[in-house]
Amino acid sequence: MPRDKTRPGGGFTLLWVSSAFGEFAYSTSLIVLPLIVLALTGSPSQAGIIGFVDAAAMLLAGLPAGAVADRYDRRTVMLWCQAALVAVFGALALLLWADAVSLPALVLLALVNGAATALTMAAGEAMIPSLVAQERLSDAVAMNAARTYAGQLAGTSAGGFLLAVKNAFPFVVGCLAHLAGLVLLLFLKRQPPAAGAPDRPVLSGRGLMEGVRWTMSHPFLRVGLVCATATNFFFGVIYFIVIASAQTSGMDTGLIGVMAALLGVGGLLGALAAPLLQRVLTGARPIHVVLWAFVVLTAGIAVLPGGWTPGVLLGAIAFAAPTANAYFTTAQLTLTPDSLRGRVVSVAAIASGGGGAIAPLAGGIVLDLAGRSAGLLGCTAVMAVIAVLTSLSPALRDVPEPATAGAAPPGGGPADETPPAAEPAAVTPPPVR
């Protein structure tokens, strides 16, 4: 008798908990590595190299990661990534314990950390539809978002505490977290590539670009990705302006930390509330609501008084975002054939992640040229234009049914060399849509 997949469980729970350990370890390293480099070299610029290497590795590995996730057993890909992370975290912990660490060793960890995270994200997200029923897919996506926010909150908090005890401890704990994630994945069933996936080389130019072509050929996916990229970029700009202007105005660093914490708490609560909100906001309404909430709340940050106001309103923006993210990701997964899911997921991660990566630079330029209030109001105006255009877009009014997932994308051309035989011919859309 086939397994009941009416609710996330079994394999999805194993994947979720394994990934939670990875999120925790990644967030811990993200805050600890620059501090260790700063203590080692005394150079803020060299400390900044670590964050750049991690982000660059994640972005550059994005398309190849998606191709690998589509061509090989996704569970095996994740196992190899976890094994590599166990090795580098463990090696760095030993070097720190022996007081023999060097900048190249720290850069190597950041490089492996970023690339392995890109591979794990592509393989793990592409695996979700095979682990849960169609009607629970949006709930599973929302649970993943909650896991990410919880991992960030726990990881950054634990990282600072462990570093204060001994500089090797964050990596000892990170090594054990990745080891626990690896062990859990051993109990997950194999996730072989989709039947019908072509045998051409994984890293061929055409193979890498198939995810881009598929996304661009679907009006809904194309417009949704533009919205996600713009929102991530402008949120990053606004966050940088708020934090930087607070620091230059002499605000207490504890209050600045509370503002950052409110952002994480808002995101976590929003991810937990996303399944319920999606039942209220049907169709593409989550995207429209989030964009207009972004506009109104950003204007509030610009003009409303009060030291706590920016943190509360940033938290409110973060609360709204997971509902739109869950809606778009669910549609993306159901509209994409299994043989392309890894690459399409990677395209979305690169686009939205790239926008977020350059946001601090843009935020600094805007703050220098326009100041806090004018810069925030300028962001509000641009986001209002994006919200209007999105509200008028026919791509988000006529959302395609998930039943097209195994078909060729609009505009002609096959989705892949051969349609995946394991993909159902028609999928009943989730009732919450």
| CA atoms of 362 and 358, how far apart (whole Å) | 6
pLDDT of residue 400: 57
Please tell me whether residue 177 adopts helix, strand or coil conformation.
Answer: helix
Of 85, 107, 87, nearest to 40 (Cα)? Answer: 107
| CA atoms of 36 and 394, how far apart (whole Å) | 50
pLDDT of residue 409: 47
Contact predicate 215/221, CB 8 Å:
yes
Contact partners, residue 255, CB within 8 Å, separation at least 6: 246, 307, 308, 311
Percentage above 70 pLDDT, the chain: 85
Residue with tokens 């190597």: 108
| CA atoms of 321 and 129, how far apart (whole Å) | 22
Contact predicate 36/106, CB 8 Å:
yes
Contact partners, residue 187, CB within 8 Å, separation at least 6: 14
Q: Which residue has the higher pLDDT, 193 or 330?
A: 330
pLDDT confidence of 398, banded at 50, 70, 90? Answer: low
| CA atoms of 132 and 7, how far apart (whole Å) | 6
Structure tokens at 410: 């609009």
Structure tokens at 49: 């190299």
| CA atoms of 60 and 135, how far apart (whole Å) | 34
Ranking 150-164, 270-284, 390-404, 414-428 by mean pLDDT, the lowest is 414-428
Segments of 215-267 assigned E as strands? none
pLDDT confidence of 206, banded at 50, 70, 90? Answer: low
Q: Which amino acid is at 369?
A: L
| Rg of the chain over all Cα atoms, to the nearest angstrom | 22
pLDDT of residue 253: 63
Give exposure, 245-255, as e/b (b: 16+ Cβ within 10 Å): bbeeeeeeeee
Mean pLDDT over the full length of the chain: 81
pLDDT of residue 415: 41
Q: How far is CA 141 from the centre of its chain?
A: 11
Model confidence pLDDT, tens digit, residues 39-66: 888 877 777 778 788 888 888 888 888 8
The conformation of residue 128, written as its DSSP 8-state character, comes to G
| CA atoms of 29 and 43, how far apart (whole Å) | 19
pLDDT confidence of 358, banded at 50, 70, 90? Answer: confident
Q: Which residue has the higher pLDDT, 420 or 173?
A: 173
**122 — phi, psi (to 5°)?**
-65, -45
Of 99, 347, 379, nearest to 236 (Cα)? Answer: 379
The conformation of residue 428, written as its DSSP 8-state character, comes to P
Model confidence pLDDT, tens digit, residues 246-305: 877 777 766 777 777 788 888 889 888 888 888 888 778 888 888 999 999 999 999 988
| CA atoms of 210 and 359, how far apart (whole Å) | 27
Structure tokens at 37: 């480099």
Please tell me whether residue 283 adopts helix, strand or coil conformation.
Answer: coil
| CA atoms of 159 and 77, how far apart (whole Å) | 27
| CA atoms of 35 and 308, how far apart (whole Å) | 28
